[in-house]
Amino acid sequence: MSTTKAWIIGADMGYGHQRAAWTLVKIAKNHTVINACCYAGVPESDNKIWVSITRLYEIISRFKKIPVLGDLVFALFDKFQEIEEFYPRHEGIEPPTLQLKQIYGLMEKKSWGKHLIEQLNEEPLPLVTTFSAVAFMAEYWGYKGEIWLIMTDSDVSRAWAPLHSSKSRINYCVPTSIAKERLLRYGVSSGRIFYTGFPLPEHLVARAKQDLKKRIQALDPSGVYLKRYGDVAKRYLGATPTKPIKPVVPVLTFAVGGAGVQKELGGEIIKSLAGLLREKRIKLFLIAGMHKNIKEYFENELARRDLRSALGRQVVIVFSKNFQEYFSAFHDTLHKTDILWTKPSELVFYAGLGIPVVIAPPIGSQEIQNRKWILRVGAGIDQLDPAASHQWIPDFISQGIFAEAAMQGYVEIEKHGTEHIIGLIAKPS
């Protein structure tokens, strides 16, 4: 077990930043992830800034559902974090954005983050954060230890690089080669950028091979994929998965985002799959996260479809009251999952465990890029009409399409991000 200790810091900006942070909890001082938004003793002025940012993020995300006007307002908001097209390449360093200047303005005028960094400086362990503003705070307020910033998307906006990027001492752990190239365009020194992969739960990585062997039995019941690519499966899994003695019921998991968006999509899925659930031809996990209202929404939708009795057997709602419980329950669910249906958030990297992703509509520039990335990798499939999911999901299974996506993710996506990140942090500076 690693003896490395660090300050691990997340932020309440959707699940992505906290998800990556909690994966590193084993090296966290006091085995605790610090929430930059609401840690013990946070000044009221800092808390107000964090609350306003969080509320704006959640309000805009939910507002997007309003026809026409919602899309317009969200587009204006998303412009602040827009990621330029990767091609064509442009000469020179991309300048700081208004959003980035606003972050530094809050530090200069409101002393945002000063208290947090002063507290951590009493024991300057390596500071590891998954939110860019926290890394900027550490550098701005003179943190004495090393600063590590873990990127949580396949590509990022200029707001992830500091104001004076070429002079920065922030170290970056990036999940993709595209992210590394993007930081170079923003002026970050190549010596500060490390390709690690996204930090996935190590216990799921350790059993990913065995889980995938079982998953292919559920996703390729007719052997269509294995007839074509059995040699690939044998090369990476050690042996070609054997045909099960009896049919395996596939498990579909639907996950809403951190702001609770797209819950209605979950309702559409429940309605469409109702027949298959009653016939016990599929099992459904519904990830409500920490949103009690979404848990209740799913329960009501199940009742409307006369599926209340299926709860706990064919249908499981995953709901938790805090991050630690949620991530533990979610990881346990992934171990049982054959297909993950979600918007292209940081969860696209979980396809590296050999779990094919059905891609719900992206929300924001980062998710648009994540969608492009997972499609290029071949581990994701755009959702078709949710109302017809009872038709196309079984068809994709019988055709071996999901099995192929599962293997693509397992082969192409870096799985050992957690190990790589801890190894870098443990190295003497």
How far is residue 344's CA from residue 153's CA, in Å, rounded to a whole number? 9
How far is residue 152's CA from residue 22's CA, in Å, rounded to a whole number? 13
Work out how many domains the chain is built from and give that number.
Answer: 2
User: How confident is the model over 334-343, as pLDDT tens digits?
Assistant: 999 999 999 9
User: How confident is the model over 212-267, as pLDDT tens digits?
Assistant: 999 999 999 999 999 999 999 999 999 887 777 788 999 999 999 766 678 999 99
CA proximity to 398, closest of 219, 241, 232: 219
Q: What is the pLDDT of residue 77?
A: 47
Task: For residue 108, give its domain range.
Answer: 6-198+417-426
Same domain, 256 and 389: yes
Same domain, 150 and 277: no
Residue 143 has pLDDT above 90, yes or no: yes
Work out the percent of the chain whose per-residue pLDDT is above 70.
Answer: 92
Same domain, 260 and 385: yes
Global pTM value = 0.93
Alpha carbon 363 to its chain's center: 13
User: How confident is the model over 4-27, as pLDDT tens digits?
Assistant: 899 999 998 878 899 999 999 999
Domain-embedded: residue 1:
no
CB-based contacts of 206-209 (< 8 A; 24+ apart in sequence) = 207/335, 208/352, 208/353, 208/354, 208/410, 208/415, 209/236, 209/237, 209/238, 209/354, 209/410
User: How confident is the model over 376-410, as pLDDT tens digits?
Assistant: 999 999 999 999 999 999 999 999 999 999 999 99
Q: Which two tokens stand for residue 188?
A: 């970050």
Same domain, 211 and 157: no
Same domain, 160 and 277: no
Same domain, 282 and 314: yes
Taking the alpha carbons of 45, 50, 52, 53 in that order, is the dihedral positive or negative? positive
Average pLDDT, the chain: 91
How many Cα atoms are found within 13 Å in the side-chain-facing hemisphere of 385? 5
Domain-embedded: residue 267:
yes
User: How confident is the model over 191-204, as pLDDT tens digits?
Assistant: 999 999 999 999 99
Taking the alpha carbons of 171, 113, 259, 334 in that order, is the dihedral positive or negative? positive
How far is residue 53's CA from residue 141's CA, in Å, rounded to a whole number? 21
- More confidently predicted of 345 and 60: 345
Q: Which two tokens stand for residue 184?
A: 């170079």
Work out the percent of the chain whose per-residue pLDDT is above 90.
Answer: 79
Same domain, 44 and 30: yes
In this prediction, residue 55 has a pLDDT band, given cuts at 50, 70 and 90, of confident
Query: What CATH number does residue 247 fall under?
Result: 3.40.50.2000
User: How confident is the model over 159-200, as pLDDT tens digits?
Assistant: 999 999 999 999 999 999 999 999 999 999 999 999 999 999
Domain-embedded: residue 224:
yes
